[in-house]
Chain A
Amino acid sequence: MLLSEGDLQAIWLTLRLASIVTLILLVLGTPIAWWLARTRTRWKGLIGAVVALPLVLPPSVLGFYLLLAMGPYGLVGHLTRKLGLGPLPFTFEGLVIASVFYSLPFMVQPLQNAFESIGDRPLEVAATLRGSPLDAFFTVAVPLALPGFLTASILTFAHTVGEFGVVLMIGGNIPGVTRVASVQIYDHVEALEYTQAHHLSAIMLVFSFLVLLALYAWRPNPKKGA
């Protein structure tokens, strides 16, 4: 057997985490992207910058702040205790929340681009046909932005799979709960188990390549269309 039980558990956990984060970000990211694409307020720059922050922040910064904020002395920690939940670090839920922050720009930015490229015209047409804004969004904007949704989802999923620093800082490396594939590889390397590290790393490499290949191969070639 190429992979140990621990490896399989780590892969399954990683896939579960990435799927849940992608679904949550589809729900949260869509309205943010829509708003950013349509708004003309001067707050647009500010919100856009905040959304893009995880692109430039070192994961250790995000991990450090989240560890403090979600801990029992932090703001989020106080809140979760009031709600009768325990502190979030070292839990799967904590990882989900951290990953939602971490992958936010990978959902919002492709969606925002997709929405912006639709332009005002199709929505104005929908309005003259007495479509409500919500109606217009679901029957006009979403179908037109479908490639954007696909790109955003794939990127979000892949980026969450590739997460390491934040997980290391707030995860606590618990098997089946927070020990994702990237951390499992790190542990193998640290324990000098290079063979196992090789197997799992090769899987990650092939997976990442296939995801990107699918993304680039599928993207319509603009020259052909013109």
Chain B
Amino acid sequence: MNKILSALLFCSLLLVTASARAEKITVAAAADLKFAMGEIITEFKKANPTDEIEVIYGSSGKFHTQIQQGAPYDLYFSADIAFPRELAKNGFAASDVTPYAFGRIVLWSESLDATKMNLESLTDLTITRIAIANPKHAPYGKRAEEALRSSKIWDKVEAKLVYGENIAHTAQFVQTGNAQVGIIALSLAVSPELSNKGGYWLIPDNLHEPLEQGYIITKRAAENVLAKRFADYMGSKEARAVMTKYGFVLPNESTSK
């Protein structure tokens, strides 16, 4: 009995000292980074195996609110740079607002061949449900609405629209077949989970405002060395290669391809 107890004590002691030594950060990342961020962290950890990085994916708008209310996030990657800009203006940032990518939107379908479609195809009578992210607060939803409006088909398709809470939720509506087609992030459409399920059609970026994305180190992480190191890593060759692979356009590259 005593042996078991002392063994347990020893183990917990190990755990305590281990967690005290390793650095740890929590990253709040927009849902469109779901796959890219995971890969970047894997790369980062190859060089820094003792560092711990926890990521929470969700809607940029929600993180914006949560950080104002003191949420324990050290880094905030937003799909719309306007959110971190506002946080910085109100004193919630410990770094400059740094643009890290431009997002692109695509038509994506699981059941139809989206590579042969364009926005006009959405007016087809056989398409009854189109998923987009909620334009009211999701950056990708706003751009989807702009693209539909500037193609002059918004009025024709509005009745068919269903709204996802964020871009990953929107993709899920299409993935389960409940919407035949959706407007989602290119970064999700090319991900391993979705790319084997159907094709996509890239929506020309002159149809919508640019989806400029930016990050900040939050105020609570002002002294956190790992937060700074990881933020810097986003500009590294390795991280940029992953972002490009997932269809993001990088800040100093041309946005129109």
Q: Which residues of A contact B (CB under 8 A)?
A: 67-68, 70-73, 77, 86-87, 89-90, 168, 172-174, 187, 189-192
Contact = CB atoms under 8 A, between A and B. Distances in A.
Contact of B173 (A70, A77, A172): A172
Nearest to A172: B162
Given A172-B162, A191-B136, A73 B176 contact: yes
Contacts of B61: 190-192
A73 B175 CA distance: 11
B177 A192 contact: no
A80 to B, nearest CB: 12
A164 to B, nearest CB: 11
A90 B173 CA distance: 10
Interface string B59-93: 10110110000000000000000000000000000
B163 A87 contact: no
A68 B62 contact: no
Contact of B178 (A89, A189, A191): A89
A173 B166 CA distance: 12
Nearest to A94: B178
A86 B178 CA distance: 10
Given A187-B136, A187-B137, A174 B62 contact: no
B216 interface: no
Contact of B59 (A67, A71, A190): A190
A187 B162 contact: no
Contact of A174 (B111, B163, B172, B177): B163
A190 B134 contact: yes
B129 interface: yes
Given A168-B165, A173-B162, A190-B59, A71 B65 contact: no
B156 to A, nearest CB: 16
B131 A68 contact: no
Contacts of B165: 168, 173
Nearest to A70: B178
Contacts of B134: 173, 187, 190
Nearest to A189: B65
A71 B177 contact: yes
B62 A173 contact: no
A189 B68 CA distance: 13
Contacts of B64: 192
B182 to A, nearest CB: 11
A73 B137 contact: no
23 contacts: A71-B176, A72-B111, A72-B178, A89-B178, A168-B165, A172-B129, A172-B162, A172-B178, A173-B134, A173-B162, A173-B163, A174-B161, A174-B163, A187-B136, A187-B137, A190-B59, A190-B65, A190-B137, A191-B61, A191-B136, A192-B64, A192-B65, A192-B137
Interface in B150-170: 161-165
Contacts of A87: 129, 177-178
Nearest to B180: A72
Given A90-B129, A173-B162, 15 more contacts: A67-B172, A71-B176, A71-B177, A72-B178, A77-B177, A86-B128, A87-B178, A90-B179, A168-B165, A172-B131, A172-B179, A187-B134, A187-B137, A190-B65, A191-B137
Given A86-B128, A190-B59, A192-B65, A73 B136 contact: no
Nearest to B86: A192
Contacts of B176: 67-68, 71, 73
Nearest to B165: A168
